[in-house]
């Protein structure tokens, strides 16, 4: 089963193939445990098929199209716009806000963490030589 063949199929057909592949994998694992499996490479092939099906389903869910028809770049950009990531909000403790305003600082200045102290390195111990220990 190739990826191009899977991309042509409808979503309900993909889900039925996924179910049958998972059932086949279950049966192959059972045969392997019992000792009836002749070709153990079948397990890997079925696992790869399942991964291909899941990849096509996830591409459709995310709106990713790996097959692009010769179209201008502007139309391709308009066809699949990317979602903007939300900006991270700075964590500000509510109790610190009034104290910062009373001190004349802005909330952003009060929310900045203090630099961490640098840890001092321990001096290395001198090794004993084995010759000196024997003598």
For 19-65, the pLDDT digits (tens) are 999 999 999 999 999 999 999 999 999 999 999 999 999 999 888 87
Q: Which CATH architecture has domain 3-67?
A: Orthogonal Bundle (1.10)
What is the pLDDT at residue 70? Answer: 41
Provide the token pair at 14. Answer: 């993909």
Provide the token pair at 27. Answer: 């049966």
pTM above 0.75, yes or no: no
Are the beta carbons of 111 and 96 closer than 8 angstroms? yes
Task: Summarize pLDDT for 105-133 with one digit per residue, the tens.
Answer: 555 555 566 667 676 777 777 666 666 55
Are the beta carbons of 71 and 80 closer than 8 angstroms? no
Are the beta carbons of 14 and 49 closer than 8 angstroms? no
Are the beta carbons of 52 and 44 closer than 8 angstroms? no
């Amino acid at each position: 089963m190739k990826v191009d063949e899977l991309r042509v199929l409808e979503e309900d057909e993909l889900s039925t193939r996924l179910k049958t592949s998972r059932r086949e994998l279950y049966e192959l694992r059972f045969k392997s445990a019992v000792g009836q499996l002749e070709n153990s490479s079948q397990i890997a092939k079925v696992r790869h098929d399942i991964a291909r099906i899941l990849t096509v389903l996830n591409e459709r869910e995310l709106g990713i199209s790996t097959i692009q028809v010769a179209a201008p770049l502007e139309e391709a950009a308009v066809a699949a716009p990317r979602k903007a990531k939300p900006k991270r909000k700075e964590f500000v403790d509510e109790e610190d806000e009034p104290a910062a305003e009373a001190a004349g600082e802005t909330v952003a200045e009060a929310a900045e963490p203090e630099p961490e102290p640098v840890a001092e390195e321990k001096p290395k111990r001198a090794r004993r030589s084995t010759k000196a220990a024997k003598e």
